[in-house]
Structure 1
Amino acid sequence: MSLNDEALNYHEHPRPGKIEIVSRKQCDTAYDLSLAYSPGVAEPVRAIQDDKDNAYRYTNKGNLVAVISNGTAVLGLGDTGALASKPVMEGKGILFKKFADIDVYDIEIDLSDPDQFIETVAAIAPTFGGINLEDIKAPECFYIEDTLKKRLNIPVFHDDQHGTAVIVAAGLQNALEIVNKKIDDIKVVFLGAGAAGLSCARLIRHLGVNDIHLVDRKGVLNKSRDDANIYNQEFLSDTKATTLEEIIEDADVFIGLSGANLFPKEYLLKMKRDPIVFALANPDPEITPVEARSVRNDVIMATGRSDYANQVNNVLGFPFLFRGALDARAPQISMNMMLAASEGLAKLTKEEVPQSVLDAYQVKELKFGPDYIIPKPFDPRLKEYVAESVRLAALKEFYGK
């Protein structure tokens, strides 16, 4: 049976779909029923009516996240429509529960108009402790997230933007340490100026990267371009370079968030010593590690694939960002919280890897170095290192604790 057939079988049997609702409370007797529903349920209703914060005491709001999409940018499949995005949203629900013990309702909204989408999400927001936006195309995703963050007092997070950024920032810090380069001295080139590219650029700029260049389908985003959207304006550079081949000259870091095979291996020869390459297009990267090492043996590589070293996997980020945010009851996921998550990931990578992780990946050793700059998703310490770092950052920023 092929992988495609196995995937369909997995989703269909023994019962269709990947998630379900399980009761947290006993409901086996008539008395249980009187507590779970009428007349007992009236008491928490009155308590929440008197004080909305009581919803966190008497309902699952404080541990419930909505994973919401309109299906306009699903994986690498494009605009599949809302309903076809449901398997992905259910999958995110599994990851939230598995890695951070967070409950999820997946919600697919059949609206492509950003304002209508915003109104729908805002109307249902009281149900949830947080909103995870997923697979919404750029540039609408920026407007949707920004508007909802201003309107709601719960965390709103577009994982396609920020989840990748948190892990890239962690891997970049570690890679730079390995090659002994200072973060404020490096030149970084992005191929891809969409949601993930812009968010990654913003986060590494907060880390101290000054020399950042973005390349989109039309070339380098420089100040001679008159077609950049409002979200790209902040990254228009002074360079006269117009192509990837020109701008990659003397770069220290290449970060690809674009498409398969778009970074010719010859371009690696133009980069400085010990180049760092994050080729994150899925399922096929801009350049494979095998191709890269055929021309340079000093390259540090990361991809989005599990069959290569240094996988940039969003499951390292979003479950623990939300875990920390929910535990702190933060009104949003801020830049400081994302930086804290990155720092937690970077720190964890340098710790001795437990045997359970080695067994899960069937390897004898994982040690901080060129082939291990990012932790593995099944590391049981991620909650301690990442979620707790996020929680503490949130408490300090929003509550002065």
Structure 2
Amino acid sequence: MTRSQIVVSDEEIFAAHLGGKLSTALSSPLDTERALSIAYTPGVAQVSRAIAADHTLAARYTWANQLVAVVSDGSAVLGLGDIGPAASLPVMEGKSALFKAFADLDSIPIVLDTKDPDEIVETLIRLRPTFGAVNLEDISAPRCFEIERRLIEALDCPVMHDDQHGTAIVVLAALLGAAKVVERDMASMRVVVSGAGAAGVACAKILIAAGVTDITLLDTQGILHKDREGLNTHKAEMAACSNPRGLTGGMAEALAGADVFLGLCGGVVPGELIATMAPNAIVFALSNPDPEIHPDEARKYAAVVATGRSDFPNQINNVLAFPGVFRGALDAGARRITERMKVAAAEAIFSVVGDDLSADCIVPSVLDPRVAPAVAQAVAAVSGD
């Protein structure tokens, strides 16, 4: 089953982006001399003096405490790759628009003309008084792991690389739904993750945190295993905590008898390999715009199929996660976005589906207005754990 295809002309797309997709708005009008004297000089000086005397007052009397910095170096944008900071700005503007539309959070897109982790980290440390959280976006692996880790250590505010953790949260939510549809205990499933980059590693980690014990990851050279040579630090770490049966080889060896296929790196997986999976298999073919296997082909062999596209059922999209995650973290005054908060976010997304759960509805629509508030509440509730 497919949804009606949305057809949009190039003219309409470019017209919608003319001048950018964002603007600032006033929280109160400046239409009288009295209003000006309060919002700017001389009244603003009183607020500045108060903050200078007690820096904690900035959280109350500026927007910084509720402002998200959406940061990219343009090195891994969508499926376009390393297109640079200027070309990545429309995507970052779009991300900021989603923050506002779904969680009523203000955000500022910041694109940096450097790929040096030291320079990126130093820049954001210097900018810290301006914002209350950092959403890292479209930064290539493995640099993204180092940059996120260092910023989490250096900044006293929430930091999350959405390409990693937003994807992981929604994948976990979808797997919770799919497992219930096929009446299986998720923890007992054999999961195959195609892609050992940013998203693949994060998805594997959150599934392990949620209780899945049998996960096999593959990169372009085949299955990750502890005896494989030439693995970088992050792949070696995953090889040590995954693949409990010690599989070697490639996709054919990984998929034989597996319960779940999670595609995150493109390429093509033929139907004949999906056919070798266990009965009532689950296929998440998330590469965009071309899934690893067409959903109609996958449904010949799998009980539940999901993609990242909006024109098929079960769209796994990060917008289900990141607005509510940041809203909840900021509302709770959290200094970190923890693994427990991510799992809670996934459980909240799944909970919204409710009685609508079916093979074609394992996650709610990205336009469902209940999602972001449910995620925010769940994240805030466990922020002190």
TM-score, scaled relative to structure 2: 0.95
Q: 2:296 — aligned with what?
A: 290
Q: Deviations over 1:68-119 (max 9, x none)?
A: 1110001000100111100000000110000000001111110111111111
Partner Cα separation in structure 1 for residue 185 and residue 314 of structure 2: 21
CA contact (8 A) 2:324 2:373 kept: no
1:263 paired residue among 266, 269, 273: 269
Q: 2:123 — aligned with what?
A: 120
2:341 paired residue among 311, 334, 337: 337
Which AA in structure 1 matches 2:328? G
Q: Deviations over 1:235-278 (max 9, x none)?
A: 21352421111111110000000115x11111111100110111
Q: 1:18 — aligned with what?
A: 21
Matches within 5 A, 1:55-74: 55-74=58-77
Deviation larger for 265-274 or 225-234:
225-234
Q: Deviations over 1:283-341 (max 9, x none)?
A: 11001211112x32x42011000000000011100000001011001101111111110
Which AA in structure 1 matches 2:336? Q
CA contact (8 A) 2:224 2:248 kept: no
* Residue 204 of structure 2 is aligned to residue 201 of structure 1: yes
CA contact (8 A) 2:158 2:334 kept: yes
Q: 2:238 — aligned with what?
A: 235
Unpaired segments of 5 or more residues in structure 2?
1-6
Partner Cα separation in structure 1 for residue 259 and residue 327 of structure 2: 34
Q: 1:213 — aligned with what?
A: 216
CA contact (8 A) 1:133 1:159 kept: yes
* Residue 42 of structure 2 is aligned to residue 39 of structure 1: yes
Structure with higher RCO (Cα < 8 A, 6+ apart): 2
Which AA in structure 1 matches 2:312? Y
Q: Deviations over 1:330-380 (max 9, x none)?
A: 1011111111100101111115xxxxxxxxxxxxxxx21110000112212
Q: 1:382 — aligned with what?
A: 371
Partner Cα separation in structure 2 for residue 277 and residue 26 of structure 1: 52
Does the C-alpha gap of structure 1 residues 2 and 168 become closer, same or farther in structure 2, counting only changes over 3 Å?
closer
Q: 1:328 — aligned with what?
A: 332
Partner Cα separation in structure 2 for residue 212 and residue 218 of structure 1: 17
Which AA in structure 1 matches 2:136? L
Q: 1:359 — aligned with what?
A: none
Q: 2:380 — aligned with what?
A: 391
Partner Cα separation in structure 2 for residue 67 and residue 144 of structure 1: 14
CA contact (8 A) 2:188 2:213 kept: yes
Partner Cα separation in structure 1 for residue 373 and residue 111 of structure 2: 32
Partner Cα separation in structure 1 for residue 207 and residue 194 of structure 2: 15
Q: 2:286 — aligned with what?
A: 280
Q: 2:4 — aligned with what?
A: none
What is the deviation of 1:216?
0.4
* Residue 258 of structure 2 is aligned to residue 254 of structure 1: no
Partner Cα separation in structure 1 for residue 236 and residue 52 of structure 2: 45
Q: Share of identical aligned residues, percent?
A: 46
2:184 paired residue among 171, 177, 181: 181
CA contact (8 A) 1:114 1:144 kept: yes
What is the deviation of 1:2?
5.8
CA contact (8 A) 1:222 1:242 kept: no
Partner Cα separation in structure 2 for residue 3 and residue 188 of structure 1: 39
Partner Cα separation in structure 1 for residue 83 and residue 65 of structure 2: 31
Which AA in structure 2 matches 1:71? G
Partner Cα separation in structure 1 for residue 304 and residue 164 of structure 2: 23
Partner Cα separation in structure 2 for residue 7 and residue 384 of structure 1: 30
Which AA in structure 1 matches 2:283? V
TM-score, scaled relative to structure 1: 0.91
Partner Cα separation in structure 2 for residue 235 and residue 112 of structure 1: 25
Partner Cα separation in structure 2 for residue 254 and residue 3 of structure 1: 34
Matches within 5 A, 1:12-161: 12=18, 16-161=19-164
Residue 289 of structure 2 aligns to a residue in which SS?
coil
CA contact (8 A) 1:66 1:128 kept: yes
Which AA in structure 2 matches 1:378? L
CA contact (8 A) 2:182 2:303 kept: no
Partner Cα separation in structure 1 for residue 86 and residue 192 of structure 2: 36
1:307 paired residue among 305, 311, 314: 311
2:172 paired residue among 157, 165, 169: 169
Partner Cα separation in structure 1 for residue 115 and residue 146 of structure 2: 13
Deviation larger for 235-244 or 128-137:
235-244
CA contact (8 A) 1:213 1:235 kept: no
Q: 1:354 — aligned with what?
A: none
1:4 paired residue among 10, 14, 20: 10
